[in-house]
Each structure stands twice: as C-alpha cells, then as structure tokens.
Amino acid sequence: MVTTVSEVMQRDFLELDAQTTITQAVGKMQQFNERYAVIFDKRFKPSYRGILDRTSLIESKLDANAEIGTFAMHPPVVSSDTSVYKAAELLYHSYPSLLPVQKKDKIIGVVRANDIFSLLLKMPTLARMKAMDIATTDIVKFPYETRLGDVLNRMREMKFSHAPIIDKAGRIIGIFSLTDLFEKHFLRPEGKLKGSGRDKRGFEPKGFAPVRTSVIDTNIGDAASTTVITVSPTATLGVAIKEMYEHEISDVVVAQDRRPVGMITARDLLKVFAETEAPEYWGIQFFGCEQLIPQQYDSVRKQMAELYEKTKRAYFKNIIYFLVHIKKYEQKEHGRAKYSVHLRLAIPARVFNAEQAHFDLNTAVSWALKALESEVLRFKEKGKKPWTITGKHGKRQELGKAERRALDARGKVIRPKLVKR
C-alpha cells in the first residue's frame, strides 16, 4: 500500500510568474486544461508565492490587467514523505484542493485530490462500498428558471460549488458549477496575445478577456452543463470513482429514475479515505488552518482532538459539532503575526463559544480550550445545584424538577442554593 505522497504526486504542473496578467494566465490554464497553477516570483527567495485557482478569479471581478500574484491562495505545503492519509486530511480541510510538495525551499510537485482517489480502488473494502453509503444526501437542487444571481449567493452562503438542475418533474437535466460559469459566461477568446509566441511545448497560448455583460439575471439552466454523469444508488464506490476519472469530473450525481437523490463529491471521497487512518478527528471541523505550517496544524489538531474526546467521555455523548476557526493577522507595527482562535461546541439546545487571541499560536489555543472547558463545567455544575425556596419560619427547602416548573409557571422567583466554600 502506498504510504507517502512521493508515490502519488504529479511532477508536471503549470508554473506562472506572479506578474502574469489574468488574461494571460487564463489563456495558459485553458490551453493546458488546468484548473490550478503554481505561482512563483523570481524576485524573491524562496520564489514560491501560492496557488492560482481558476474559479477563484470569478471573485476578482476579472480586471484583465491585474497581476495573478494578487489572487494567490495558500494551501498547506507538504514534504514528499508526508503520509497520504495526512495529505487527504489536509485536502479535506483546505481550499483549493491541491497541496504543493516542497523540498529544500523548492516546489518539486503537487498532490491533487484525484491523485489520492486511485488508492481507494486498491482498498477492496472501500471500493465495494455502495455509492449511497458516502453520498451527501442533503443536496441543493435548482429549477432551470432560477435566477443565476440567487444561485451564486446561495452557493457562497452554503459553501458548495456544484448543484443539479432539475425540470418541473424533478428530473435532472443539467449540472451547474462555478467552472461552467467561468468558461461560458465570464470569458471569451481574444486571439493571440501580443508577443506571446510559442512556448517550449510548441503551443500558441490564447488570451481571454472578461465578458462585460452582466449575466446574474439570466436563468441558471443557461449556464449549466447538459452533460450529466450519474450512478445508481446501488452502484459501488469503485464504479463512481471510475466514472469521475473517465470524465475528469470532481463530483458525480447519484440518481434514481433520473431524480437526484445524492451527490458524491471530492470531499466525500477524501473523508472516507482518511477516516480509515484517523477517525477520531472527523467530528471536528477546522477553518483557517491553511494558513498554518504542517507542524502547527498537527499541534492544533491533537489538542482539539483531546478536548473533543474528553468532552464526549465526561460530559456530553451527543455532540452535534465542534468548530475550530483560526485567523492569522499580520501586525505591521509589531512585525509579527497575531492568532485568534474561536471555538464553538454544540449539543442539543445549547452552544458553547470561546475566543482567545495571542501572538503565540499555542498560547491562543490553550487559552481558548480552557475557556471552552470552563463554559462546559459551569453548565454542568449549574444543572447539579439543588433549587430552593423560602418555606415556613424562613427555612429554605429544596425543590424537585416538577415543583420548579410549577413555580416558574406561576412567576415565582427561584434561585440556586448557595454553597459554603
């Protein structure tokens, strides 16, 4: 079984200079059918500057003369000896779904989600799983006539990038993605760029310029792809992965009688693969960790997992979710970064929050964990205290739950009994 990213990473990837304009970059990405490009700036050492994601350019308002270095994203960087399970977990929690592989300050390759999916086929237990066992069933579907602007707002709020398009009978007739919008409506070929010439692979790159006509008031169906790849609910996971490979897509719709009942996304596959190695982390959702180096992320993940397991074991077994959000602020006046750690733990009918900040990440994490645990303990202790009311001769008498509810309904003031320390 392959254990490190060195055996699955791709050494052939698209490199672009940070001073390349959007129109030149998109032309290159279209030419080589690449969704991502690695950005370098030779004016600095090390020269690596980040990743350019094609669909992220939608939010750039497509200033054709803007330099791509402005839109660089920063997913975690891994080494060639990183475990494939660790890589799958990083891809699951990061955006974009690509990890640069670094060796001595040099990018030697990249790992995409698709590079890891091939390993699933080598794991018989996973390959034989049914598609519906891992499919996301709570999918958002849109009728053909839905306004495109409304769809984009919904996708931004709920953080998904693909959605089935259905007719009035609920049958699937198309699939919409941000990539479709980018290629069909925001860009148009403009001819050969001045001075571009042929590159070392013998291709003449074409420039692409933004279409200025607003399309947000058009129908979503006009922007969707009519080629829809589906699998049945009884199909195996292996069949679904092969369909994704054959058609070079990152999502496949699970449909029954042409009606979508689920969707298998790249994140679903990454999760099911990584869960085979470290299932204890999957009750925790991490946000903002792409800003951290791998050692920092490992430390944060370990500390959060310890509190999560302790909370399940000692306090609440039915945790709904545990969110970890880390923000990194560059303090120019101090010349160093400041970290803000926000934790949110939810149980039925109750949400606990804690937020702390410090220039040292471990200190901020430690403070936030202590604050969250204090909130949980206060809640548990409050539930244990007996409630009392003044009875005859000024004596305090304890009340049970039924008596407390009755008095509360009558508007009586109930207070917790004071305990001497």
Q: Is the same domain home to 191 and 261?
A: yes
Q: Is the same domain home to 206 and 81?
A: no
pLDDT at residue 144 greater than cutoff 90: yes
The answer to whether the CB of 237 falls within 8 A of the CB of 130 is yes
Average of per-residue pLDDT across 119-141: 85
Distance, CA of 9 to CA of 162 (rounded, Å): 26
When divided into structural domains, the chain yields a total of 4
Last residue of a domain, one of 273, 292, 318: 273
Name the more confident of 215 and 228.
Answer: 228
Exposure string of 293-312, with b = 16+ CB inside 10 Å and e = fewer, is eeebbeebbebbbebbeebe
Q: Is the same domain home to 172 and 254?
A: yes
Q: Is the same domain home to 200 and 97?
A: no
Task: Give the highest mean pLDDT range of 122-136, 226-240, 290-304.
Answer: 226-240
Q: Is the same domain home to 244 and 313?
A: no
Question: What CATH number is associated with residue 295?
Answer: 3.30.160.100
Q: What percent of the chain has pLDDT over 90?
A: 27
Q: Is the same domain home to 192 and 232?
A: yes
pLDDT of residue 369: 94
Average of per-residue pLDDT across 274-302: 74
Distance, CA of 44 to CA of 35 (rounded, Å): 25
pLDDT of residue 192: 43
Q: Is the same domain home to 257 and 283?
A: no
pTM: 0.63
Is 198 domain-assigned?
A: yes
Q: Is the same domain home to 137 and 268?
A: yes
Last residue of a domain, one of 43, 78, 111: 111
Is 205 domain-assigned?
A: yes
Identify the domain containing residue 327 by its residue range: 279-384
Per-residue pLDDT of 344-390, as tens digits, reads 998 887 889 999 999 899 999 999 999 999 998 888 877 655 555 56
Q: Is the same domain home to 304 and 175?
A: no
Q: What backbone torsions phi and psi does residue 380 show, to the nearest 5 degrees?
A: -70, -40
pLDDT at residue 11 greater than cutoff 70: yes
Per-residue pLDDT of 48-103, as tens digits, reads 999 998 766 665 555 667 888 888 888 889 999 988 888 888 888 777 789 999 99
